[in-house]
Amino acid sequence: MLEEFKKFLIKGNMVDMAVGFIFGAAFATLVQSLVKNVIMSPIGMLLGKVDFSNLFIALDGNSYASIAALDATGAPAIKLGMFIIPFKIINLSL
């Protein structure tokens, strides 16, 4: 098994995979910044100044004024604005 792993490393596949991970991480950061800073602001303005970052569903049954208040209590929540909206925009661009 060690010999097979050495052959795998020698072929360069490990280096190719490492380069792929680096490029993937850089691309993910770039797309996240694009969606958060460039795309979401105009969409929020067009929909009536909606702040997508403040959309959430508290799972403990209580209501909270903002995500900051929710995070201060440590209550579990589904943070829709942090995931679903940018996820849909990224999927539409692909």
d(CA 91, CA 94): 5
pLDDT-derived band at 82, boundaries 50, 70, 90: low
CB atoms under 10 Å from CB of 36, counted, come to 14
What's the number of domains the chain is made of?
1
Torsion sign, CA atoms 72, 74, 77, 83? positive
pTM of structure: 0.44
Q: Is the pLDDT of residue 83 over 70?
A: no
d(CA 54, CA 66): 6
Q: Which two tokens stand for residue 66?
A: 């903002």
pLDDT digits (tens, 9 = 90+) for 37-75: 777 777 777 777 766 777 788 888 888 888 888 888 888
Q: Which two tokens stand for residue 89?
A: 């925009």
Q: What pLDDT, on the 0 to 100 scale, is given for residue 30?
A: 81
Domain that holds residue 88: 2-93
Q: What is the domain-level CATH number for residue 73?
A: 1.10.1200
Q: Give 30's DSSP letter.
A: H
Q: Is the pLDDT of residue 77 over 70?
A: yes
